[in-house]
Amino acid sequence: MNQPKPVQIRLPFSVPRPKKGQAPPSRVCGMLNDSRYTCPRCNVAYCGLDCFRSEKHGQCSEGFYRETVVNSISADPGAGMEEKKGMMEMLRRFEEDQDGGEGMLAELEDEGEEGNELAKKLAGVNIDEIDSNALFHLLPPEHRDKFLAALKDPESEAAKHLVELAAEEDEGSAMAIPDVMPWWEAPDVPDDEDEGEQYADMPDVVAEEVLAGIHPPSGVGSKLAYNAVAISLAYIHTLLSSRLPSLSPWHRAAQGVSADDLKTDVTALIPFLADQKSTIRYTSAREAYSTVWEIIGTTLDPAPPPDLLIRLLSPLPGLLHPPLDTASSPRLLHLLSDLYRLHSLSRVGAAGKKLAFYVVALRQMGRAEWLKLEREVQGEIGRLERE
């Protein structure tokens, strides 16, 4: 096995070396005269602490102190947080003493070279003002992996810690965590496990007097069903991003989110909704959600993990499932109605008219068609989970 070459350190002074054929002389301090000690990094002889910490030897002694402290922290997993902070404070004081107080080592809880790398990258960065995406890219790869792993495993201790921190920040922020769950997550029949959960009210379907004048051709509903899948994905993503359990005026006001901003966010994901001349018609569930997901990926940096797509698709089977009561409608029609009211606050534009048309057209679908669409979406979710 090839051994790594030793690191060569160029010293700013000469080190006495014995001549060939002569007995080695007594050890002489590489900086003064006497010699009682040897530097563990460069092997130069020195007589005391003053020589070891002198400017001539600073490039070696400073690195030795840093490595010793950092390695001690990382090598002892049982060390308590107070002990680690004390050791980092000792190192900080040493560095201040070396450079007159200008150099400050952040009290990092991470260890080793990753911690040093992060400290260098965050030097001079205003954490309160930097964009979250820019901050993410400053993290070393190991830190990014830990963060993404926490997102993928909501039950992990790291994920729970992140949620606790977010909740603490939300206490004083304008956009707080809602005190009710999204309406589409409410079970059809509440069970014991859901007794403590509260859900937003399910939006009412568009009033009959609005729908009475709409007469789509027979069979149009099944042709527009996949477009409705795309609309649902855009709706869920937008509301979750804005922390809204529904589009009701009360929840919008509580979160300080304007109707215009929400309409902009939704139509950015499904441009065909606001385009009066659009002829887009998706022919499969995969084509519908893939198009929306691709647009979502262009708006997020870093690119969202596939787990997020699964989470966005998971409510769809419940929205598509037809109730046994023929007088009731699948929840998807309530979702479209919620969007209709948002787009009809000032006047009924192209998006509002389309949404009302979708509600009437989808009512044409029979129970077997809804169940087939539900199974198709469930199959796509299963495929994504396997992949």
**Which residues, given as ranges, of the chain have pLDDT below 70?**
1-38, 40-43, 46, 48-50, 52-53, 55-138, 147, 150-155, 158-176, 189-196, 326-327
In this predicted structure, what is the pLDDT of residue 334? 96
In this predicted structure, what is the pLDDT of residue 109? 43
Taking the model in full, what pTM does it have?
Answer: 0.58
Q: CB of 57 within 8 A of CB of 46?
A: yes
In this predicted structure, what is the pLDDT of residue 45? 72
Question: Token pair 């979708």 is at which residue?
Answer: 358
* Amino acid identity at 181: M
Q: CB of 351 within 8 A of CB of 274?
A: yes
Taking only the tens place, the pLDDT of each residue in 210-245 is 999 999 999 999 999 999 999 999 999 999 999 999
In this predicted structure, what is the pLDDT of residue 187? 87
Q: What's the mean pLDDT when you consider all of the chain?
A: 76
β-bridge mates for residue 46, sequence order: 37
Handedness of CA 68, 73, 74, 77 (dihedral sign): positive
In this predicted structure, what is the pLDDT of residue 111? 46
Residue 363: DSSP 8-state: T
What length does the chain have? 387
How would you class 244 by CB atoms within 10 Å of its CB: exposed for 0-12, middle for 13-18, buried for 19 or more? buried
The runs of H, that is alpha helices, within the chain are 49-52, 58-75, 81-99, 112-122, 132-138, 141-152, 157-170, 208-211, 220-241, 249-255, 259-269, 285-299, 306-313, 316-320, 331-343, 350-362, 367-386
Residue 181 main-chain phi, psi, to 5 deg:
-85, 160
Helix, strand or coil for residue 387? coil
